[in-house]
Amino acid sequence: MMKIIRKFLPYFDERPTGIKVKALVLHCSAHSAMEMINVLQERELSSHYVIDIDGTAFQLVSEKCRAWHAGQSKWRNMNMLNQYSIGIELSSSTLGQKEYTPKQIKSLITLSRQIIKHYQIPATNVVAHSDIAPTRKPDPGLAFPWQKLAQKGIGTWYDLNNADKITENDVRTLLKIVGYDVADLSAASYAFCRHFVPEAVNIDNDVYHLVDNVYPKDFVLPEKYLPILKAVAYQYQKSSEINLVSEE
């Protein structure tokens, strides 16, 4: 059991009656952990956990309660993910555009696995802030090690060999299968790339500019990445079908 320092914030409320935790949302902020806690307090926001660059973890809100971390958000059949999720913030001076520290990722893996096991969170519901709010948020960024985490049982990855197992070729439809809100197709496509095709995402050395310019407004998923999208959609569709069977 990893050591967690408790520094509870007063900015939370109760989850709605009957709502169960079924998602894990991963964030980052361009502050040290203590700076981040202070910023959250100033803005009357919160997250359940914060992990500093040295791997030190802080708990800010009880998992039983609804922390205020996701804001306006949507993923699959969930709207306003605060009520359904546990939120973890990571410190990253580049907003996840450069690699996270090994100690930080080690702590994240330990904590995430505990949360996923306790709440039986489906792999398809381990998401980035950018996945659930693609028009507003770029975190945890293109350098976030999604594939490595999937290998540790946190989230899911894809096998490119599965691209031919799904006949759909429409980008909007495929993104919806994965779980994205496609009201803004450019934003959803860019968020997908942040998660699965980081080489298609531009690095912005000015994090303040990045916060206000989350995605290129005219972005179109390059055709060469369509097989990756198809392989991801197949994986998410398959995982969702397994989850539905297990719930019956």
d(CA 130, CA 198): 13
User: Cβ distance 107 to 57 under 8 Å?
Assistant: yes
Residue 241 is among the residues annotated as catalytic for this protein: no
For the chain, the C-alpha Rg in angstroms (whole number) is: 17
- Non-local (6+) Cβ contacts of 160 within 8 A are 227, 228, 231
Which helix or strand (DSSP H or E) is residue 91 part of? strand 85-91
Which helix or strand (DSSP H or E) is residue 58 part of? strand 57-59
Q: Which of 174, 181, 162 is nearest to 231 (CA)?
A: 162
d(CA 125, CA 85): 9
| Residue whose tokens read 């981040």 | 36
Catalytic residue, chosen from 89, 199, 223, 241, is: 89
User: Would you mind telling me the total number of residues written for the chain in this entry?
Assistant: 248
* Beta strand 4-6 pairing with 85-91: unpaired
d(CA 146, CA 152): 10
d(CA 240, CA 209): 36
**Would you please indicate which residues are annotated as catalytic (active-site) residues?**
89
